[in-house]
Amino acid sequence: MTQPWHPIPGGITAPAGFLAAGITAGLKASGKPDLSLLLAPEGAVCAGTFTTSLVRAACVDLCAERLQASGGQARAVLTNSGQANACTGDRGLIDSQRATQAAADRLGLAAEQVLICSTGVIGVPIPMPTLLAGLDPLVAALSAEGGAAAARAILTTDLVEKQIALEAELGGRRVRIGGMAKGSGMIHPNMATMLGTLTCDAGVPAEVWQRMVRRAVDRSFNAITVDGDTSTNDTFLAFAAGERLSPEHFEALEAGLTAVSQHLAKAIARDGEGATCLIEVQVEGAADDTGARAIARTVCGSSLVKCAVHGRDPNWGRIVAAAGRAGVSFDPEAVALWLGEHQLMAAGQPLLFDRAAASAYLRNDPVLIRLVVGAGPGSGVAWGCDLSDQYVRINADYTT
Amino acid sequence: MTQPWHPIPGGITAPAGFLAAGITAGLKASGKPDLSLLLAPEGAVCAGTFTTSLVRAACVDLCAERLQASGGQARAVLTNSGQANACTGDRGLIDSQRATQAAADRLGLAAEQVLICSTGVIGVPIPMPTLLAGLDPLVAALSAEGGAAAARAILTTDLVEKQIALEAELGGRRVRIGGMAKGSGMIHPNMATMLGTLTCDAGVPAEVWQRMVRRAVDRSFNAITVDGDTSTNDTFLAFAAGERLSPEHFEALEAGLTAVSQHLAKAIARDGEGATCLIEVQVEGAADDTGARAIARTVCGSSLVKCAVHGRDPNWGRIVAAAGRAGVSFDPEAVALWLGEHQLMAAGQPLLFDRAAASAYLRNDPVLIRLVVGAGPGSGVAWGCDLSDQYVRINADYTT
């Protein structure tokens, strides 16, 4: 299958019928945009994946319950940035319900059709009067050009906004997929990313859409790690709304869905707190894809590997050591390793290599690490970033 | 049982009959001591625990096989520092065998009675002529006062040497336990620490000793984490040699063994690369001890928690978030949390607390984090250290 998708400008409002807005409501002390809204067309189906942490924010419970109860029917997502509303007890859930009810009233929807995502400091409740006062201007700002403003308003410590849109001709009609995401610390999602929203203007049955989204998330957001810390608020919501797509195009649609998700996931990893480069780890030759992905993610998440890349130090021993503790069986004597084009190991043993050239290669962005662990059919990829002194500074002084 | 153990000066040569030495053989470019030897009395039994990494150094294979084959009979440990001799292929095992054979010849032992530990850069073989040339002066330096010199010669990036000795009267006779360890990076042992050696001058049947050592390691070296990276070379070897101890004193002996192991484990965590303080995480109220220990270790290993402690930032949300991703079931609504004497949470919700006082508390060393996760009988402790920009600098420039 030729890849039919090509990039177009915009993000979540690139697909037809979706409206979005992002404004400064005053939730953040910095005065940066902090409240966003996405409105999907009538008939939209929504698939969500959420943090696997036992400690999860009230907004995550609310989203998961509403999507479960409705079989994936939802029309809007409100996102507040600045306060995570996690570990806020009963008040957390009450505030989430009040916020979605107030947004639903202004949109002419039932509260159950509105979802909410929160991001920011854990344990801090949402300043509700500020949020509620922001809803009228937020709804007034909804527009088919609002995707970029929404993508800005969901950020916290991110340095750059993250959005993308792809377009394809499927069965003689134009289909568009758009997405936005935020996240740069506490990034080690499991079944979801920090916050991500995806839109698609082709109609797909809810259960088909849910399966597609789950697979795309496994190959994207679940394959990144910044610091090994899974968040309390990780949420990915994907909306599909429009004329029904013929099943013969589902495979092509899923390819687009995966491409958008991978773009956003890599953008999160590249924007990891203090990061200076994206690291891509490719693992081949494992017994199965699951094992390969686990090895890739362990290497990508190793503090020692991340520090070595940051220092442009081709310390390949740390890569193999990290692979060895991934909990996946392979033959250490079969390992081969490349940094970009530079092969550093074969048959489990170090090769003589040009250390200066390999070190110079580590100044690239992205840095590609390729590890062959045997002759099995399993392969997998993970994305992460280097670990810099800047990461420590950002996270040593977050709330103070 | 009253704790009968009290500290005495010295380390591995404090127990009667053990000899040790540490010299500069020239394995390290720095000119620091780099070769050490421990000689145990005749009749010694030895229990070993080793890295669980799939990728493990030749010396680990050699130690594990010899102890297995002999049922725990060994007389000596040679340790070279500077080169890990991991991922060095066939040559790695040949070099390990040659080194132990050469040491055995000089000690009048069989090669099978001599063990070897290596630490340093992965993938770098041991400069064998240098090591072999060091054996004569090393054996000549063996003495009952050599414990401190041996403890210095096993270090790599450690800032301080780590040794301890305890003494007790058990059944009218004096029993001594001594220990030394090294390690400050790539520290997240599983069944073993980086390198640790323990000596005891009471005789214990090999299988009893093995069980005691395993339990002590679980409560000490397996409860620490510096950076989540399990090493290829983690090895802990414990020797017991002397007049047989009566079984009625085994419990007291194990208490001493555990105390020595915990002292060394905490010393490793405190000396974590770039660390400015020891962090102790106590978890209570879990369903069982295993779960409590897993939660404690996850909190202790969280980069975000470690950065927050380094920044003296009482960001308790990160502690609860880390507990939530430990893979252990508990009721988030039951969580209570203390930083030292400062209670920050009760019943899963934040309390008002004096932020300045809590921040000031984080200037203590050690920092104590206490987490109650329910009403279950399970409790556990883990030790780690803060994460500083200095950790990154050390590990960005290790081999270059």
Would you place residue B389 in the very low, low, confident or very high pLDDT band (cuts 50, 70, 90)? confident
Residue A5 has a pLDDT of: 96
CB contact under 8 A, A389 and B387: no
CB atoms within 10 A of CB A127: 16
Short-list B288, B289, B299, CA closest to B326: B299
Residue A286 CB contacts under 8 Å (≥ 6 apart), including other chains: A292, A295, A328, A330, A373, A374, A376, A378, A379, A380
Same-domain pairing of B23 and B119: yes
Structure tokens given for A258:
């995966």
| Strand order from edge to edge, sheet including B45-50 | B6-8, B162-170, B173-182, B195-200, B235-240, B45-50
Residue B194 has pLDDT above 50, yes or no: yes
pLDDT at B1 over 60: no
SS3 A379: strand
The predicted-structure confidence for A77-114, as pLDDT tens digits, reads as follows 999 999 988 888 889 999 999 999 999 999 999 999 99
Question: Does B263 lie in the same domain as B120?
Answer: yes
Structural contact between residues B268 and B181, judged by C-beta atoms closer than 8 angstroms: yes
Query: Is residue A207 classed as helix, strand or coil in its secondary structure?
Result: helix
CA dist A66 and A111 (Å) reads 10
pTM of the model: 0.84
Give the SS3 label for residue A143: strand
Which chain B residues in 177-206 lie under 8 Å from chain A, judged by CB atoms? 185-186, 188, 190
Question: Residue A82: beta bridge partners?
Answer: A120
Decide if B248 is inside a domain: yes
Share of chain A above pLDDT 70, in %: 96
The Cα-based distances of B97 to A95, B66, B93, B100, B372 in angstroms read 68, 11, 6, 5, 50
Tell me the per-residue pLDDT of B365-385, one tens digit each, with 9 for 90 and over. Answer: 999 999 999 999 999 999 999
DSSP state of A222: G
Note whether B127 and B203 are same-domain residues: yes
**Contact criterion met (CB below 8 Å) for A308 and A358:** no
pLDDT at residue number A398: 60
Q: Tell me: pLDDT of A130 over 90.
A: yes
The answer to whether residue A124 sits within a structural domain is yes
> Given this model, what pLDDT does residue A200 score?
97
Cα dihedral B145, B146, B152, B155 sign: negative
Q: Are residues B157 and B18 in the same domain?
A: yes
Same domain, residue pair A345 and A230 = no
User: Which distant-in-sequence residues (6+ apart) come within 8 Å of A216 by Cβ?
Assistant: A254, A257, A258, A261
For range A204-218, the mean pLDDT: 95
What radius of gyration do chain A's Cα atoms show?
A: 21
Angstroms from B110 CA to nearest CA on chain A: 29
Share of chain B above pLDDT 70, in %: 96
User: Each residue of A347-358: b (16+ CB within 10 Å) or e?
Assistant: ebbbeebeeeeb
- How many other CB atoms sit within 10 Å of the CB of residue A377? 12
Q: Which residues pair with A169 in a beta bridge?
A: A174
- Given an 8 Å threshold on Cβ–Cβ distance, is B317 in contact with A185? no
Burial class (CB in 10 A: 0-12, 13-18, 19+), A399: middle
H/E run at residue B105: helix B89-107
Question: Is residue A142 within 8 Å of residue A19, measured between CB atoms?
Answer: yes
**Contact present, A166 and A6 (Cβ < 8 Å):** yes
pLDDT for residue B342 is more than 50: yes
Same domain, B251 and B327: no
Rounded CA-CA distance B245/B203 in Å is: 6
Which of the listed residues B270, B292, B321 is the one where a domain comes to its end?
B270
* Beta-strand relationship, A162-170 and A6-8: antiparallel
Give the mean pLDDT of chain A.
Answer: 92
**Per-position b or e across A240-276, b if 16+ CB within 10 A of its CB:** bbbeebeeebbebbbbbbbbbbbbbbbbbbbbbbbbb
Determine, yes or no, domain membership for A263: yes
Beta strand B367-372 with B278-286: parallel, antiparallel or unpaired? parallel
Q: Between chains, do B348 and A312 touch, taking CB under 8 Å as contact?
A: no
**Res B191: pLDDT:** 39
pLDDT tens-digit profile of B123-148?
Answer: 888 999 999 999 999 999 999 999 99
Identify the CATH number of the domain in which residue A372 sits: 3.10.20.340
What is the residue range of A388's domain? Answer: 278-396
Sequence-separated (6 or more) residues with CB below 8 Å from residue B259: B3, B5, B166
The C-alpha R_g of chain B, in whole angstroms, comes to 21
What confidence score (pLDDT) does residue A399 get? 56
Nearest-Cα residue of chain B relative to residue A400: B313
Least confident of A202-211, A328-337, B308-317, B369-378: B308-317
Chain B residues 311-350 with CB within 8 Å of chain A: 311-318, 320-326, 328-330, 332-333, 335, 345, 347-350
Cβ neighbourhood burial of A224 (10 Å; 0-12, 13-18, 19+): buried
For residue A224, the model assigns a pLDDT of: 87
pLDDT at B88 over 60: yes
Q: Residues 221..240 of B with a Cβ closer than 8 Å to A: which?
A: 227-232
| Distance in angstroms (rounded) separating the CA atoms of residues B378 and B284 | 6
Alpha helix (H) residue ranges in B180-288: 206-218, 250-270
What's the average model confidence in pLDDT over A325-341?
93
State residue A189's pLDDT score: 58
For residue range A228-273, list pLDDT tens digits in order: 777 888 899 999 999 999 999 999 999 999 999 999 999 998 888 8
Residue A244 and residue A309 in one domain: no
Q: Specify the 3-state DSSP secondary structure of A77.
A: strand
Q: Express each pLDDT in A174-199 by its tens digit.
A: 999 999 999 877 666 553 347 999 99
Nearest CA among A387, A340, A336, A383 for reference residue A361: A340
Picking from A270, A301, A325, the residue at the C-terminal end of a domain is: A270
Residue A122 burial by Cβ neighbours in a 10 Å radius (0-12, 13-18, 19+): buried
Q: Does residue B387 share a domain with residue B248?
A: no
Both B124 and B260 in one domain: the answer is yes
Please tell me the predicted confidence (pLDDT) of residue A232.
84
Q: Are residues A262 and A298 in the same domain?
A: no
Arithmetic mean of pLDDT, B293-320: 90
Q: Confirm if B375 and B286 have CB atoms less than 8 A apart.
A: no
Angle B45-B51-B57 from CA coordinates, rounded to 5°: 95
* B284-295 average pLDDT score: 95
Q: Do B55 and A388 touch (CB under 8 A)?
A: no
Give the C-alpha separation, B233 to A22, whole Å. 53
Name the DSSP letter for residue A224. Answer: B
- Asked if pLDDT for residue B399 goes beyond 60, the answer is no
Mean pLDDT of A17-26: 98
Q: Which of residues 125-184 of A touch B (CB under 8 A)?
A: none
**Which chain B residue is nearest to residue A333, measuring alpha carbons?**
B89
End-to-end Cα distance, chain A: 53
Which residues does chain A have within 8 Å of residue B124's beta carbon, measured at their own beta carbons? 317
Q: What is the pLDDT of residues B67-86, one digit of tens each?
A: 999 999 999 999 999 998 88
Residue B1 lies in a domain: no
The predicted model gives B352-361 an average pLDDT of: 92
| H helix intervals, chain A | 58-70, 89-107, 128-140, 147-153, 206-218, 250-270, 289-301, 303-310, 316-324, 355-361, 389-396
Domain end, chosen from B208, B237, B270, is at B270
- Burial, A2: exposed, middle or buried (Cβ in 10 Å; 0-12, 13-18, 19+)? exposed
Residue-level pLDDT at B90:
86
Q: Can you tell me which residue has the tokens 């409705």?
A: A70
Q: Is residue A1 part of a domain?
A: no
A81 and A183 both lie in a single domain: yes
The answer to whether the complex's ipTM is over 0.85 is no
Average pLDDT, chain B: 92
Which neighbouring-strand residues pair with A282? A370, A381
Q: What is the DSSP string of A236-268?
A: EEEEE-SSBPPGGGHHHHHHHHHHHHHHHHHHH
Structure tokens, A108: 């002419």
DSSP label of B268: H
Which chain B residues contact residue A392 at CB under 8 A? 307, 310, 387-389, 391-392
The amino acid that residue B362 corresponds to is L
Separation CA A384–CA A275 (nearest Å): 9
Closest CA to A12 of A167, A199, A166: A199
Residue among A193, A199, A225, A232 flagged as catalytic:
A193
**Is A84 in CB contact (< 8 Å) with chain B?**
yes
Residues A135 and A259 in one domain: yes
Report residue B94 CA to chain centroid gap.
Answer: 27
Split into its structural domains, chain A has a count of 2
| Least confident range of B25-39, B189-203, B252-266 | B189-203
pLDDT at B184: 75
CATH number of the domain where residue A227 is located: 3.60.70.12
Of the candidates A56, A84, A229, the beta carbon closest to that of B304 is on A229
